[in-house]
């Protein structure tokens, strides 16, 4: 990730340090706000009309399907700022950056 101002980088870094006290009762996920937990909870509700055409999972929300579809194709819009390797999911990019390039605190500015 690249940031045009140091303030944006600091704000972004702080979101990684925020506590996640709102725990989902149906899976291991946790969230920094009740609003985010409520939005996530919809993914566990009955109807899951969005079906992946490549594998069994179904999704309650369209964005879940969009993220899933990225894992099947060449669509890897998230780029590592150190080596430009592409990723379909933010969590994969974060894990790569930490394991291959060290601490998040080293992310660059424009």
Per-residue model confidence as pLDDT tens digits over 53-73: 888 888 877 777 887 787 777
Judged on CB neighbours under 10 Å (0-12, 13-18, 19+), 52 is: middle
Res. 110 pLDDT band, cuts 50 70 90:
very low
Give this prediction's pTM. 0.41
Query: To 5 degrees, how large is the angle CA 34–CA 39–CA 63?
Result: 145
Average pLDDT of the segment spanning 93-104: 76
């Amino acid at each position: 990730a690249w940031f045009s101002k140091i303030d944006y980088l600091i704000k972004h870094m702080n979101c990684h340090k925020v506590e996640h006290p709102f725990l989902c009762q149906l899976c291991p996920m946790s969230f920094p706000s009740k609003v985010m937990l409520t939005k996530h909870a919809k993914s566990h509700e009955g109807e899951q009309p969005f079906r992946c055409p490549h594998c069994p999972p179904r999704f309650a929300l369209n964005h879940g399907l969009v993220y899933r579809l990225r894992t099947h194709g060449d669509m890897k819009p998230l780029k590592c700022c150190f080596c430009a390797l592409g990723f379909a999911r933010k969590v994969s990019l974060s894990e790569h950056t930490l394991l291959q390039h060290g601490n998040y605190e080293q992310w660059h500015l424009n």
